[in-house]
């Protein structure tokens, strides 16, 4: 939020005037002293900063980034492919029973390494 | 899998499994403790091997062992494709002998894949390979300790002064008991340490 405001060349007072949100509150949010504001407040701040409301909702953790969702989906699909390939055998020893996305990604990468196949898009 | 004429298989794990089947095929599956005993002997494992020595041991058996940072929550991983076999162990500090326990767990899963390939699965549909692999890991470590203890007592036997000999016996008995209990308690110790680490992280 702080970087965004600086990039737009706005002072706390200017944001307060445009978004009708107290400058003390904005300052606290910028310094991480307060929890992410309510989506309604973010809507007003988005107008003041001239950015998409969705962008602030993602930054505040209310919504998932669509790129992140797509990446997650890609890993899940690749992991399912690995599990159903009868030529590739694998096993794990986990803390608990939950297989995290990070672990699935690791397994997919090991599959790629051993089979010389590419399942995940590289940036 | 192609077999060489001298009987040494290109895939040593498959070779081990074939031998187990030839010995126990009539009363299949063998008890986990029996399988563990034969496996520890075949692998040449001992409790005090360094990570490098373990890597060499695995390499001799056609498995590439890597100790590295793994995703959080993953203690070990094994995979095989054609003639490539890999085991990964986390480098995260955990309970003593956790590495060895995880290594045996991963090997047990590899063994099961080979048993299935040879048409002799040891796990029924209602059983869990994870649980079986944990039992196998404990049994392997117990077997290893059982093999190592006589050497300790032989050392104590050679101590000349009686008081020092009794002290050595007591010490080795204590070490032996600690090693033996560690075989059973590694999974519990891992959970306790992970929880303590999590709490420390939450507090900071």
Residues of chain A with CATH 1.10.260.40: 2-60
Q: Give the model's pLDDT for residue B3.
A: 47
- Assess contact for B86 and B107: CB atoms under 8 A: no
Per domain, the residue ranges of chain B are 12-203
Q: Helices A101-115 & A66-84, crossing angle to 10 degrees?
A: 50
d(CA A123, CA B63): 32
- Assess contact for B88 and B76: CB atoms under 8 A: yes
Confidence of residue A123 (pLDDT cuts 50, 70, 90): low
d(CA B72, CA A103): 8
pLDDT tens per residue across span A32-44: 888 889 999 999 9
User: With 70 as the cut, is the pLDDT of residue B203 above it?
Assistant: no
Whether the CB of A110 is below 8 Å from some CB of chain B: the reply is yes
Looking at residues B14-31, what average pLDDT do you find?
96
* DSSP symbol at B3: B
Identify which of B72, B190, B191 has the shortest CB distance to residue A102: B72
Inter-chain CB proximity A106 and B133 less than 8 Å: no
Nearest C-alpha in B relative to A82: B79
> For residue B9, what are the β-bridge partners?
B3
Q: Give the model's pLDDT for residue A61.
A: 85
| Nearest residue to B73 via CA among A43, A60, A42, A93 | A93
Poorest-confidence range of A12-16, A67-71, B8-12, B127-131? Answer: B8-12
Confidence of residue B184 (pLDDT cuts 50, 70, 90): confident
* DSSP symbol at B108: H
CATH topology for A2-60 is 434 Repressor (Amino-terminal Domain) (1.10.260)
User: With 50 as the cut, is the pLDDT of residue A62 above it?
Assistant: yes
Substitution target in B70, B77, B188 with the highest count of A β-carbons within 10 Å is B77
Question: What's the start-to-end Cα distance of chain B, in Å?
Answer: 53
Inter-chain CB proximity A90 and B133 less than 8 Å: no
Q: Is the backbone peptide bond immediately before A55 cis, with ω within 30 degrees of 0?
A: no
Give the distance from CA A13 to its chain's centroid.
30
- Assess contact for A107 and B94: CB atoms under 8 A: no
Looking at residues A7-25, what average pLDDT do you find?
91
Q: Give the model's pLDDT for residue B7.
A: 41
pLDDT tens per residue across span B24-50: 999 999 999 999 999 999 999 988 888
Question: What ipTM is given for this predicted complex?
Answer: 0.81
0.95 cut: is pTM over it?
no
HEC readout, A21-62: CCHHHHHHHHCCCCCCCCHHHHHHHHHHHCCCHHHHHHHHCC
Whether the CB of B177 is below 8 Å from some CB of chain A: the reply is no
Q: Helices B12-24 & B98-117, crossing angle to 10 degrees?
A: 70
- Assess contact for A10 and A48: CB atoms under 8 A: yes
């Amino acid at each position: 939020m702080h970087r965004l405001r600086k990039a737009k060349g706005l002072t706390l007072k200017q944001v307060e005037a445009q978004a009708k949100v107290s400058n003390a509150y904005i300052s606290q949010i910028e310094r991480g002293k307060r929890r992410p504001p309510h989506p309604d407040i973010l809507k007003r701040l988005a107008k003041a900063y001239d950015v998409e409301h969705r962008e602030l909702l993602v930054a505040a953790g209310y919504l998932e980034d669509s790129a992140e969702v797509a990446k997650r989906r890609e890993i899940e699909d690749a992991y399912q492919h690995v599990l159903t390939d009868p030529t590739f055998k694998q096993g794990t020893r986990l803390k608990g029973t939950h297989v995290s996305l990070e672990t699935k990604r690791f397994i997919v990468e090991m599959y790629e390494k051993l089979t010389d196949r590419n399942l995940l898009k590289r940036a | 899998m192609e077999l060489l004429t001298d009987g040494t298989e290109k895939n040593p794990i498959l070779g081990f499994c074939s031998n187990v089947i030839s010995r126990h095929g009539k009363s299949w599956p063998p008890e986990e403790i029996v399988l563990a005993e034969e496996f520890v002997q075949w692998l040449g494992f001992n409790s005090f091997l360094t990570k490098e020595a373990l890597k060499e041991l695995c390499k001799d058996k056609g498995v590439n062992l890597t100790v590295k940072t793994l995703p959080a929550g993953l203690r070990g991983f094994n995979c095989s494709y054609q003639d490539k076999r890999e085991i990964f162990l986390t480098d995260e500090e955990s309970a003593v002998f956790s590495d060895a326990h995880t290594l045996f767990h991963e090997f047990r899963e590899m063994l099961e894949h080979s048993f299935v390939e040879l048409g002799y699965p040891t796990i029924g549909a209602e059983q869990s390979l994870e649980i079986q692999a944990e039992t196998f890991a404990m049994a392997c470590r117990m077997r290893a300790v059982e093999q190592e203890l006589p050497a300790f007592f032989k050392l104590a036997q050679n101590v000349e002064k009686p008081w020092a000999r009794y002290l050595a016996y007591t010490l080795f008995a204590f070490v032996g008991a600690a090693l033996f209990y560690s075989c059973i308690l590694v999974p519990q110790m891992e959970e306790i340490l992970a929880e303590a680490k999590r709490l420390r992280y939450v507090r900071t």
